[in-house]
Amino acid sequence: MRREKGAMCTPVLQFTNCRILRGRKLLREDLWVRGGRILDPERLFFEERLVADEQRDCGGCILAPGFIDVQINGGFGVDFSQATEDVGSGVALVARRLLPHGVTSFCPTLVTSPPEVYHKKEEGVGWDACLRYLCHVLPQIPVKSGGPHGAGVLGVHLEGPFISREKRGAHPEAHLRSFEANAFHDVLATYGPLDNVRIVTLAPELGRSHEVIQALTARGICVSLGHSVANLRAAEEAVQSGATFITHLFNAMLPFHHRDPGIVGLLTSDRLPPGRHIFYGMISDGMHTNPAALRIAHRAHPQGLVLVTDAVPALGLGNGRHTLGQQEVEVDGLTAYVAGTKTLSGSIAPMDVCIRHFLQATGFPGGEHWECGQGPTHRKFTAGDEDSKQADGLEPRVTGTEATAPKRRAFTPYEPWPGACGIAGLGRLQCRVGPGGCVSAPRPAAGTGEAQGDPGLWG
């Protein structure tokens, strides 16, 4: 058998006494890894005639891909929506602090802000404001692979300012915008270059929103519907234009009504384009969504559920006042409010807490609850033609004994970005028992061969 160059010098690591997440089930079996890739033990034994160079007893812990958080506004005192001289160092700090909570990749999320925060100072802005926004945010948050240094950055999630005034939630009304005569050019005027952007949340009822949705999706950017008063028809038309995601279902949208369920109705709509699937984020922190609502959504459309934290910069800090973009947030116990109001302002629960609450609320057995926090779970639901489905398919392409990551055509919030995380992720696996007693490792590929691994750490 032809061996990968350097394979003879690369030690084989065997994880024993572990539970592996596979096919929505937790299976008790060993996992074999070499050079960051999962091995087929039969090939290793019978073709290469090798045994493990090192064994690690996992003590019955779970070995699984890390979590992916596609909506997180900051944490540990770092506010992604604050323009500073060194935004990158703040992102790096959050990336490092997320690892013990099991998050191995994330989308830094910016809430509604003035245009100069996103990319540049507008004409007529005073000198004080100029100094404040001297270093704009978006160019300082590039896509970045994860590893021992911290979770990977999949790209920026822009939540607002193109949202409903009635359902703005914690977003400052003064900076909300609509699509004017130039439609997509207004988007560029607000955000600037979109190179680092992967998700945009907007309200589909805004005029000319469908032109904007089509332009964004044509550039490989995921459009999410949220902070909206859209009825079901408007939401369905947005999906027909290319939208694929819903921002924090039930929160900041019209409540479900039996004659017009609004955006919530997308979960069971029969007017979606053939082959198109809708996905939805939910904040399972015990504050934003009642356990019954979690169960209703999951039972109506289990394949589409993606747990998010919507964590604010106060994550990991104590009670008191903190920032969220242009607003002040007051943390009281387990809840964050816009200061001086009772309006919820994001969450202070990390992803592992959200996963545990979801498990308690739903009571689902096995690994189903773990997968709701993992982008790779939703790989198979990528919309598109057959070629894109193959490129974004259930398993990596396998050549010989090595699984290679195919090129990706568009980012979706329920999938890992190549080179950032997941099966199409980093070349080196970092597997160890986390402080919370869990172990992180890659998901095995089906059949024979090796699969690239997620370097994440579950805590």
User: What are the distances in angstroms from CA 259 to CA 2, 247, 255, 256, 262?
Assistant: 64, 22, 11, 9, 9
**Angstrom distance (rounded) from CA 388 to CA 384:** 6
Distance (Å) of CA 225 to CA 118, 158, 266: 20, 12, 11
DSSP string, 245-301: EESSTTTTBPPP-SS--GGGGGGG-S-SPTT---EEEEE-SSSSS-HHHHHHHHHH-
Residue type at 144?
K
Cα–Cα distance, 196 to 193 (Å, whole number): 8
Find tokens 């690690």 and name the residue: 56
366: DSSP letter: T
Element (H, E) at 359: helix 351-362
Of 40, 69, 79, 310, which one is the catalytic site residue?
310
Distance linking the first and last C-alpha atoms of the chain: 39
Classified as helix, coil or strand, 209 is helix
Buried b / exposed e over 278-301, threshold 16 CB at 10 Å, is bbbbbbbbbbbbeeebbebbbeeb
- Which one, of 65, 77, 62, lies nearest residue 28 by Cα? 62
With 0-12 CB in 10 A as exposed, 13-18 as middle and 19+ as buried, what is 211?
middle
186 tagged catalytic: no
Which residues, 6 or more positions from 424, have their beta carbon under 8 angstroms from its beta carbon? 396, 405, 406, 408, 416, 417, 418, 452
Residues in the chain: 459
CA separation for the pair 30, 157 (Å, rounded): 37
Beta bridge mates, 57: 16
Of 438, 21, 66, 37, nearest to 29 (Cα)? 21
- Give the residue numbers annotated as catalytic, written as ranges: 310
